[in-house]
Structure 1
Amino acid sequence: MCILFLHTNPDPQDNEYRLIVATNRDEYYTRPAKAAYKCPETGVIAGRDMEPGREYGSWLGCTIKNELDNELTEGKKFCFSCLTNISGNNKVPNAAGRGELVIKYLEGTATFPEYIDKLKNTDVSFNGFNLIGVELSKGGLTRTYHSCNQPEIDSVYTGKHTIGFGNSTISSPYMKVLNGRNRFQEIIERNLDKDQLKAELLALLKDKTQHLPDEELARRSPVGLQVLSSIYVEYLSAGYGTRTHTIVLLDKEWNMEFIEFTMQEPIIDPRHPEWHQTVIKSSL
């Protein structure tokens, strides 16, 4: 289980943001991972999976890419990507690791639609996923892309939007995604200062309120229904739960702050973890 809330605004006022992201990564407590860092070779900011056979894939990341504007001169755009798995679908034999989807998009030069077109023309198979890409440039581009492979759904959101994604299709969201998205929107509309905003977003990501009943979650994940119905997952009997919170803020002046809170490994007692904080800043 993972959950993502994002907000885009191409024309922010003072104290508003072009992009706000709040997301949880849920994973087995024993699965090894690296905390977020900026890769010196590619410039991509991301945490990395270190599971044998899946090394250096990621669930989320961002970077700055080059692009050509209308004058055919080189400009810059900020790119963000996040992956959520689709739960409850049949497994694909010999499926490739889905974590490579985020990294290959961020490391490449293709736009998100170009990347998805190339992906669909390969023989590589993946288990079910939602792949989200956000591209923002000073030339006015503000687009959020969504691609799902089971079933095939491609969506584009332009301009100002507040959206939530989880481990189901976008047409059948879990109740925690719907209710969490509403609370996320309320937090944004309060026009808080940055420290207050980060605190409220973190509180949202740590919320253990159970959002039941939920027919879609019951259909896809009937085992563990109650513990999986909250934004912050603590499924102790399965050795699984929320391990990482990430907040990304891109302000009116194109200053970016990437904040990650992740459980320090090894995770001995997930009820009382040690949290490691990473803060990375850059500007467009």
Structure 2
Amino acid sequence: MCLIALAWDVHPRFDLVLAANRDEFLDRPAAALHRWPEGIVAGRDLRAGGTWCGFTDAGRLAMLTNVRRPGAVLPDAPSRGEIVPQWLLGDADAAGFCDALGAARHNPFNLLAADLVRGEFFWTGTDHPAPHALRPGVHGLSNAALDTPWPKTVQLKHDLAQALQRHDDVDPLIDALLLALSDRTPAPDAALPSTGVPLEVERYLSSVFIAMPHYATRCSTVLVRERESRRLVAVELTHGPAPFRTRVELPRWPAEPAVRVAGTVQALL
């Protein structure tokens, strides 16, 4: 992902709402949202094998953005997309995962991750390798630190908050957020961050939805969980010459009540 807005524990009906865009080079092959053989539900980078956002039936969720720092990119670093499956398929808690991750091995990144069985939701990354607990609220993440007020991050957080005020049903909420994620309005020059890329590129990258000749928003994802029923609905809109939607629903997420004991998952009887 390159832009994420999420509402965590702020709405009476929906305790988790996520709206995100994945921006990537157009020639990088990818598969749309689907269930992997390993049990992950996510899109997939078909070049390196990882992903930018995914979840599992067991209540683990992760999403990743790169940090825009052109001078710090190492061509031989491992793919950042491998970090998301490592969290999703692991059983470590946040502190143990971050200790073992070795964030410095990767090119600069941010990771938002959750384990809803343990009740953990945290942010970590290159510049903050320890897990930082995510507090209830509306948060935004792009290619800088969490809640850095870049114009598109502020705009998407605003649109998410407005959508939650206007919609109490899942499908209208999803439609409103997909519309917000399609916004191609560039920020004024005076509001642009300075991230080491040319001004013309900074302008292109300042909108919620990016449309450049070789680099663009490839897909938009909305995820909604209902607080009482724990029903999860995830919708991905894949952009391109023939756009299409993929929808995944879990009637309860996590799928079964569970408690983790000494690194294992045991169902509650």
Asked if 2 retains the 8 angstrom alpha-carbon contact of 1:44 and 1:61, the reply is yes
> Can you give the 5+ residue segments of structure 2 that lack an aligned partner in the other structure?
256-269
Quick one: which of 75, 91, 102 aligns to 1:109? 91
Using the size of structure 1 for normalisation, the TM-score is 0.80
Structure-1 residue corresponding to 2:242: 274
Structure-2 residue corresponding to 1:21: 18
Q: What is the SS of the residue equivalent to 1:82? A: strand
**1:262 positional shift:** 1.0
Structure-2 residue corresponding to 1:218: 194
Between the aligned partners of 2:120 and 2:7, the Cα distance in structure 1 is 11
Between the aligned partners of 1:30 and 1:106, the Cα distance in structure 2 is 27
Structure-1 residue corresponding to 2:113: 133
Amino acid at match of 1:167: N
Quick one: which of 169, 178, 182 aligns to 1:206? 182
Between the aligned partners of 1:249 and 1:22, the Cα distance in structure 2 is 9
Structure-2 residue corresponding to 1:96: 78
Q: Does 2:124 correspond to 1:147?
A: yes
Greater Cα offset, 24-33 or 216-225: 216-225
After TM superposition, the runs of 4+ consecutive aligned structure 1 residues lying more than 6 A away are none
Per-residue CA shift, 1:235-280, capped at 9, x if unaligned? 12xx1100101111111211111111113xxxxxx5xx21121111
Structure-1 residue corresponding to 2:39: 43
Asked if 2 retains the 8 angstrom alpha-carbon contact of 1:92 and 1:125, the reply is no
Asked if 2 retains the 8 angstrom alpha-carbon contact of 1:165 and 1:173, the reply is no
Pick closer, same or farther for the CA change 1:4–1:233 going to 2, 3 Å: same
Asked if 2 retains the 8 angstrom alpha-carbon contact of 1:164 and 1:177, the reply is yes
Tell me how large the CA RMSD over aligned residues is: 2.2
Pick closer, same or farther for the CA change 1:134–1:187 going to 2, 3 Å: same
Per-residue CA shift, 1:106-141, capped at 9, x if unaligned? 011122332111113x8x71100001102323xxx5
Amino acid at match of 1:278: T
Asked if 1 retains the 8 angstrom alpha-carbon contact of 2:95 and 2:131, the reply is no
Structure-1 residue corresponding to 2:226: 251
Q: What is the SS of the residue equivalent to 1:231? A: coil
Asked if 1 retains the 8 angstrom alpha-carbon contact of 2:74 and 2:107, the reply is yes
**1:153 positional shift:** 6.2
**1:214 positional shift:** 5.6
Q: Does 2:187 correspond to 1:194?
A: no
Greater Cα offset, 26-35 or 109-118: 109-118
Using the size of structure 2 for normalisation, the TM-score is 0.85
Per-residue CA shift, 1:5-24, capped at 9, x if unaligned? 111118x53xx212111100
Asked if 2 retains the 8 angstrom alpha-carbon contact of 1:256 and 1:281, the reply is yes
Asked if 2 retains the 8 angstrom alpha-carbon contact of 1:210 and 1:229, the reply is yes
Between the aligned partners of 1:213 and 1:136, the Cα distance in structure 2 is 40
Pick closer, same or farther for the CA change 1:174–1:153 going to 2, 3 Å: farther
Amino acid at match of 2:28: R
Pick closer, same or farther for the CA change 1:134–1:93 going to 2, 3 Å: same
Between the aligned partners of 1:174 and 1:205, the Cα distance in structure 2 is 15
Between the aligned partners of 2:67 and 2:23, the Cα distance in structure 1 is 13
Structure-1 residue corresponding to 2:259: none
> Can you give the 5+ residue segments of structure 1 that lack an aligned partner in the other structure?
66-77, 264-269
Q: What is the SS of the residue equivalent to 1:113? A: helix
Between the aligned partners of 1:204 and 1:57, the Cα distance in structure 2 is 27
Per-residue CA shift, 1:192-242, capped at 9, x if unaligned? 322211111001110111122366633333341221110000012xx1100
Q: What is the SS of the residue equivalent to 2:157? A: helix
| Number of residue pairs the alignment of both structures matches | 249
Q: Percent identity?
A: 27
Between the aligned partners of 2:190 and 2:123, the Cα distance in structure 1 is 23
Structure-1 residue corresponding to 2:262: none
Pick closer, same or farther for the CA change 1:196–1:214 going to 2, 3 Å: farther
Q: What is the SS of the residue equivalent to 1:224? A: helix
